[in-house]
Amino acid sequence: MANISTLSLQDKVAVVYGGAGSLGAGVAKAYVEAGARGFLAGRTEATLKKAAAETGAEYDVLDARDEEAVEAHAASVVERAGRIDISLNLVSRGDLHGVPLTEISVEDYTRPVVQGITCQFITARAAARRMTAQGSGVILSLDSGSANGSPMMGGTAAADGAIDALIRQLAQELGPAGVRVCGIWTAGVTDTLTPEKLTAGGAPAMDEAAVQGIRAHLDSLRMTKRSPRIADIAALATFLASDAGVALTGTWVNATAGMFPS
């Protein structure tokens, strides 16, 4: 059984794509506190700079859907830090929810599938190339687990299913080189939900009371009647990236607090 010291990420180098978001920043902060040198990557410098100041990580402006830019960035991280030990992709995909499949447009349905799998593949491949050369590393992903069945989620289920399969295939191919590949299923992380986030993209205005109602509804859907928090997912991501998770690869961890069994 692993002891608590194996949760250390001392001297590890972690890259978090989509690191300016609340969940990305939360995970990056946990990584840095566990001893890792963190690099946040994202498209907007203002939010990256703020997240870096809050987490103690470094940041780079980068479009994770740009194949050449991701490869150049990975090479730059290795040049600056010597290696890449952890790669986590939390980049948003442009998912559209609440529209029946009979009414949703082809573009809105396929966008998260194409953007999601393309971005995940590009970043995972860049990390895998460095990790296989050094003989170790952990590649992590996160989605909602909607491939297990989730109505009114548009293209999210298909996008999640594609990423689920990518993680399992990567684990099979990279395992002999000492690289582990895992995913986290989670949805409705309640302290990421704000009026600003929920009304982005032209949705109707929403006050804090309405947001609290959504959070309470999400709690009611769980087996535990408590939704995951940023700190919960950050702790799990730290465990998976650490030596304590050495026996885990090719799998997805259900961190939905029992939104569905698996």
Does residue 137 sit in the same domain as residue 196?
Answer: no
Please check whether residue 259 lies inside any domain of the structure: no
pLDDT over threshold 60, residue 201:
no
What is the total count of domains within the chain?
Answer: 2
Is residue 171 domain-resident? yes
Distance CA 5, CA 210 (A): 42
Q: Do 139 and 21 belong to one domain?
A: yes
In a domain, 78, yes or no: yes
Quick one: 25 and 89 in the same domain?
yes
Q: What is the pLDDT of residue 252?
A: 98
Label residue 172 by pLDDT band (50, 70, 90).
very high
Range of the domain at 182: 4-189+229-254
Are both 150 and 42 inside the same structural domain? Answer: yes
Question: First and final CA of the chain: distance in angstroms?
Answer: 24
Positive or negative, the Cα torsion across 227, 247, 39, 166? negative
215 and 109, same domain (yes or no): no
Q: What is the pTM of this model?
A: 0.93
Q: Is residue 262 part of a domain?
A: no
Q: Answer whether residue 250 shows pLDDT above 60.
A: yes
The reply to whether 219 falls in a domain is yes
Q: Is residue 249 part of a domain?
A: yes
For residue 182, which of 144, 100, 237 has the smallest C-alpha distance? 237
Domain match, 93 and 210 both: no
Query: For the chain, what is the largest distance between any 2 Cα atoms, rounded to a whole number of angstroms?
Result: 52
pLDDT score, position 205: 72
Tell me: the pLDDT tens digits for 42-68? 999 999 999 999 999 999 999 999 999
pLDDT tens-digit readout, 105-129: 999 999 999 999 999 999 999 999 9
Q: Is residue 110 part of a domain?
A: yes
CATH at 37: 3.40.50.720
Higher pLDDT, 155 or 133: 133
Same domain, 247 and 222: no
Q: What is the C-alpha separation between 186 and 148, in angstroms, rounded? A: 12
240 and 135 part of one domain:
yes
The stretch 136-155 carries a mean pLDDT of 93
Same domain, 60 and 94: yes
Mean of pLDDT over the chain: 93
Closest CA to 166 of 127, 120, 128: 120
Measured distance CA(112)–CA(251) in Å, rounded = 22
Are both 213 and 121 inside the same structural domain?
Answer: no
Are both 168 and 144 inside the same structural domain?
Answer: yes
User: 198: closest CA among 211, 215, 209, 212?
Assistant: 211
Residue 105 lies in a domain: yes
Residue 3 has pLDDT above 50, yes or no: no
pLDDT over 90 at 4, yes or no: no
Are residue 95 and residue 209 in the same domain, yes or no?
no
